[in-house]
Structure 1
Amino acid sequence: MDGMVVQHGRPRCLIVDDSPCFLDSARRLLEQQGIPVVGTVTNTADAVRTAAELQPDVVLVDVELGAESGFDLAWRLDESCAAAVILTSTHAEQDLADLISASPAVGFVSKTELSSDAVRDLLDPADLAAPVSEPRER
């Protein structure tokens, strides 16, 4: 995948959530709206491994992964891969605002507001044009 360039406006996405129902729904929604979903996983270990293997452009991370923390995962992904991290939750953004702003995530999308436009709006256009094998500037 070295040197691979993302098609304009089509960020490759990995979804991390402990709910199989949400994973299925989010995958179908994003793919119908033009965002290829390269994988879905339910825990942090699989997320780190899969992100390294698949090199997605963006990783959607639920803030509550059962006993694991999506905020901790955001930090691990920031250190280990070039993907932009977008946090998701059923909780209101204002309830998590301090944790979101302290995280390396590029932003937050409520699960009820998830759409390809919401994902694209949080991504820097440079992230969508850069080779996925090179780390993003922070």
Structure 2
Amino acid sequence: MTAPTVLLADDHGAIRAGLRIMLEAQGITVVGEAADGEVAVRNAAALRPDVVLMDLRMPGRDGISATREIVERGLGDVLVLTSFDEDDLVFGAIRAGAVGFLLKTVDAPTLGQAVRAVAAGDGALDARVTRRALAAVAENTPPTVPGARQAALPDLTAREQEVLDGILQGWSNAQLAARLRISVPTVKTHVSNVLTKLGARSRSHAAALVRGGED
């Protein structure tokens, strides 16, 4: 498999340097860097990385706005690095279309694995970030009538429902393919259909929408 390419977006040069060392030591190619959101969008358009490793707090244009444009223009998948005090920003990044979230304290092997997963079309969610993000979604979701969650969902096919259940479990495309006994390209098609029907920008957004509607 060809090594994934990454664009680093963080306003701290020392952090970018550390991330570059961690990634390149694992055979991942860092094609560029950006110190603010505007440069991140511009460099993503010019370099077309597989993954944009995005900080959320940056001077000038922030990471959420940059994530939204990168996703809308199809310039790359966005993997967010966040800290414990950024719950509100994580929620905004989910809505903007980020496909993964890791804490800034992540170790090198986990970071490399997450980048490869995102480059392969899967998501990458730190369990601690996911728990807090889903709680934030629930707090911002109007109360629902008990038992009404399934009725509020779009008309998913039986297979799409199975894929959605797998997404909620955090399964990768390869895991879904193995468990459902279908090919990875077929899984990707079903995932795309599920996201479209839910009006979700990413797997994490889909999980947030569904879990946020639970009573």
Category of TM-score, reference length = shorter chain: 0.7 to 0.9
Provide the aligned length of Structure 1 versus Structure 2: 121
Name the CA shift for 1:34/1:93 in 2 (closer, same or farther; >3 Å).
farther
Match in the other structure for 1:54: 47
Shift of residue 90, structure 1, vs aligned partner: 2.5
> What is the alpha-carbon root mean square deviation over aligned residues?
2.3
**Other structure's SS at 1:28 match:** helix
Q: Is the 8 A contact 1:100 1:107 kept in 2?
A: no
Name the CA shift for 1:96/1:44 in 2 (closer, same or farther; >3 Å).
closer
Residue 72 in 1 paired to residue 65 in 2? yes
**Other structure's SS at 1:113 match:** coil
Structure with bigger strand share is: 1
Give the distance between the partners of 1:118 and 1:54, measured in 2 at CA.
20
Percent identical among aligned pairs is 34
Shift of residue 94, structure 1, vs aligned partner: 5.6
TM-score (normalised: structure 1): 0.75
Shift of residue 10, structure 1, vs aligned partner: 1.8
| Larger RCO, structures 1/2 (Cα 8 Å, 6+ apart) | 1
Letter in 1 for 2:7: L
Q: Which of these residues, 107, 112, 115, is aligned with residue 116 of structure 1? A: 112
Name the CA shift for 1:21/1:55 in 2 (closer, same or farther; >3 Å).
same
Shift of residue 120, structure 1, vs aligned partner: 2.2
Give the distance between the partners of 1:104 and 1:54, measured in 2 at CA.
20
Q: Is the 8 A contact 2:36 2:62 kept in 1?
A: no
Name the CA shift for 1:92/1:80 in 2 (closer, same or farther; >3 Å).
same
Greater Rg, structure 1 or structure 2?
A: 2
Mind listing any 5+ residue stretches in structure 2 that lack a counterpart? 123-191, 193-200, 202-215
Give the distance between the partners of 1:69 and 1:94, measured in 2 at CA.
15
Matches within 5 A, 1:1-138: 8=1, 10-91=3-84, 96-113=89-106, 115-125=111-121
**Other structure's SS at 1:68 match:** coil
Shift of residue 9, structure 1, vs aligned partner: 5.7
Superposed structure 1 runs of 4+ greater than 6 Å apart: none
Shift of residue 89, structure 1, vs aligned partner: 1.8
Give the distance between the partners of 2:73 and 2:89, measured in 1 at CA.
24
Mind listing any 5+ residue stretches in structure 1 that lack a counterpart? 1-7, 127-136
